Structure 1
Amino acid sequence: MTKSLEEWIKLAKERQVEDLEGEPEEGQWYRIPVPGAVCAGGSPYWGYLRKGTEPNLIVCFSGGGVSINEYTAARPNRLGVTGETFYSSEDTMLINDLILGIGIFNDEPDNPFRNWSRIFVSYSTGDFHVGNGDYHYASPDGSPAVLHHHGYRNYRGLMDQAVKHLSPPAKLLITGASAGAFGASALASDVMSYFPDCHDVTCCPDSSLLLYDQWQSVARNIWQAEERIWKSLHSFDICLDWMRNLYAEKGNNIKYLYTCSIRDAMLSQYQHFIDYGTLELTREQCLQFEKDLKGMIDVLKAELPGIGLFLTDSPATGMAPEVPGTQHTRILDFNFPLSDIHGVSLRDWMWSGVNGTVYDAGLELLNREES
């Protein structure tokens, strides 16, 4: 039975993760409050840490939408509020506690990542984790408001605290879902700077394709990202630009993976807003997403030699029969371990990749004719 919002909130409060005090116990999740760090609306920010029993580490960036202008800034996603929303507000932060045992974080015996240490970079700043400033805007009622685009500050504050409790990892996986996938591509090199002695690194964004001709301006003037972050944005494809920049800096010293569904329903809907000004999901937009994804992958394969791709076509839930939207993200989803393409799961593909066997799965999905 589907839970109501009130039931989810109650469950989250019942399972609330404790703040870290002292040294962490192995296998236990902790909230890491970050002094001075704030969410979009000014509430205190926290991230998460789990110390594993193996000498490997996952740094995972959370998703939660994005704000690109005054209109989107004025419409955060608040619990119980309906209508157009574009990014997660701080009152959704408590729900993070419920996903700490899902997907790549699952502790079941068949999850090969189960004993790795984990840093989960939670997110409620609408800036793909790269923001450094305050954006002033007018609320729908005309009153002045401010969106604290502090994603980068929050991430750095979390990392500064979390790494004190971890030994240098033998393997490092930098990943993220949705907005977190953009963050992983933008900040992979930054994450690596915390572990200069780790030479076995993999970067894997999950579901990150949005085309916009103003990304550099948004990153520079609205999010107030550091110059090295916004200056690398030259095309319509922000994730592609950040992945290109990562390869230009690190070359083949790290392993590159990328996963997405071929007509991602959520990204298609946001793309419709960018293109037409409304949050709608149409058949035409889903099919256009598939074309855009093929173009992005063609460039990734040409410019990042050795990158591994994993594509899926699982239908998104709640789709009208005429709308061929597909599932948005799997890394932090119950479907993470389920076989999908040629009997291979996203979990098995990622595990092979981080261990040096990088391959493609599902590329043929982009060459089928839509009926």
Structure 2
Amino acid sequence: MRRRTLPAVLAVAVLLLGACAGTDDATDADETTTTATVATDETTDDAADDEPAEVTWEAVSPGGDCQCADGSEYRYWVSEGDPTRVAFFLQGGGACFTAETCAFEGGGTTYKVTVTDADDPSDGSGLLDLTDGRNPLEGWSMVYVPYCTGDVHLGDATTEYSDELTVQHKGAVNATAALDDLTDRFPDAAEVLVAGESAGSIATPYYAGLAHDRLPDAEITVLADGSGAYPDVPAVNATIGALWGTLNAVPDWPTNADVTAENWSLPGLFVRAGAHAPDITFARHDYAYDATQEFFAALAGIADGTVLSQMDANEVLIEDTGVDLLSFTSPGDDHTILSQSSVWEHEAEGVRLIDWITDLVEGDPVADVHCTECEAG
């Protein structure tokens, strides 16, 4: 058994049918489950023991106030492996904050408005492939949290953008239900990894702090992939936050006593979660010239400087408060990698990303990796 030298593993697994707030009854989980198999390294004379372990995913429909942007049913998926090691993985998928960007049809191309069978992680790649021996999460339990609300998993509001368009920004309601299920299903979780991609990575420190509240003895680690460049702009925080209802979902932590619409910021989530739970280990991965982050920053009217300079500035801002943020900055203009097969071979400055992630998850010391030739393309 290894023990950490750094506070570690944040993530959160899930699911026992945690009903969303505002309901007394939970909807039954789908009867259908999907399975995969994973080969084991153990050898034994018992033929039965030679059978590969089975990985099964269960779809859960929590009901209650949980719903997607268009009011359709929300679902998340759970795979029960080792009950002491659990990952809480937040899916990405854009954002919206105007009638044009939030439209369900036609112009609404900047986010996903519903959960479908295509979100089932059973055939996932990268860290979602729990059958791959290269995956440091092989054998873990996982709660996979789809995203369909346009609010980076932080909203709790019903917003009317026009007479024809009302959007359910219930990302915080949905993901909190999944986290509550994780707590019920895996009460003995000792290691929790809270990971996310793109919009899902933005909220990882928030859910790490909530995981700490529910599992105070667990080692919690955050791995945020693809959101390091979004800045703290008070006017934007307040304007978009009001549309999403982010202040309706602010955790009741002492460090949040001074929260206003203006200072409830995206990089500030690391600062507040770190002050609330100093033992959480925080880490991020970004591409230096991430074209998707550049697009959404411009869409929100905050495109000032390069993506690389902004993510470097955010890291300084966070660490100046005493919160350590481990980072792996890759060259190029791609966007996210955790759920892609390319994660196995990707490297920067001679360091393989999967080795860096493995050390992070296992609680071994890791150093920051930052490209020296970071050009896009």
TM norm structure 1: 0.77
Distance in 1, Cα, partners of 2:222 & 2:83: 19
Contact 2:221-2:280 within 8 A present in 1 as well: yes
Q: SS at 2:364's partner residue?
A: coil
Paired residues, what number?
320
| Aligned partners of 2:113 and 2:148 also within 8 Å | yes
Residue number in structure 2 paired with 1:259: 285
More displaced 10-residue stretch of structure 1: 65-74 or 167-176: 65-74
Q: Residue in 1 aligned with 2:76?
A: 47
- 1:109 CA displacement: 1.4
1:88-103 equivalent positions in 2, closer than 5 A: 88-90=112-114, 93-97=116-120, 100-103=123-126
**1:187 counterpart letter in structure 2:** Y
Aligned to 1:207: 226
TM-aligned CA deviation for residue 249 of structure 1: 1.0
**Using the alignment, how far apart are the partners of 2:281 and 2:260 within structure 1?**
20
Change in CA separation of 1:59 and 1:167 when aligned onto 2, cut-off 3 Å: same
Cα distance per residue 1:39-77 (max 9 Å; x no partner): 100110000100113620101111111122333223x4x
Q: 1:317-356 alignment to 2 at 5 Å?
A: 326-356=333-363
In structure 2, how many angstroms separate the alpha carbons of the residues matched to 1:93 and 1:68?
A: 22
Q: Distance in 2 between matches of 1:291 and 1:261?
A: 12
If each structure's helix is expressed as a fraction of its own residues, which one has the higher value? 1
- How far residue 352 of structure 1 moved from its aligned partner, in angstroms, is 0.8
Provide the residue aligned with 1:281 in structure 2. none
- Shift of residue 370, structure 1, vs aligned partner: 8.5
**What 5-or-longer segments of structure 1 have no aligned partner?**
1-17, 277-284, 315-325
Question: 1:173 pairs with 193, 199, 205, which one?
Answer: 193
For residues 194-273 of structure 1, the aligned pairs below 5 Å read 194-198=214-218, 200-208=219-227, 209-211=229-231, 212=233, 213-226=235-248, 228=250, 231=259, 234=262, 238-251=265-278, 253-273=279-299
Q: State the one-letter code of the partner of 2:312.
A: K
After the TM superposition, list the runs of 4 or more consecutive aligned residues in structure 1 that deviate by more than 6 angstroms: 368-371
- Residue of structure 1 in register with 2:326 after alignment: 308
For 2:139 and 2:89, the matched residues in 1 are separated by: 15
Q: TM-score, normalised to structure 2's length?
A: 0.75
Unaligned segments of structure 2, at least 5 residues: 1-28, 36-52
Residue in structure 2 matching 1:293, options 311, 317, 340: 311
Aligned-partner Cα distance in 1 for 2:57–2:352: 26
Query: d(CA) in 1 for partners of 2:208 and 2:261?
Result: 16
Q: 1:311 to 1:274 in 2, by over 3 A?
A: same
Answer 1 or 2: higher relative contact order, Cα 8 Å, separation at least 6: 2
Q: CA deviation at 1:344?
A: 2.6
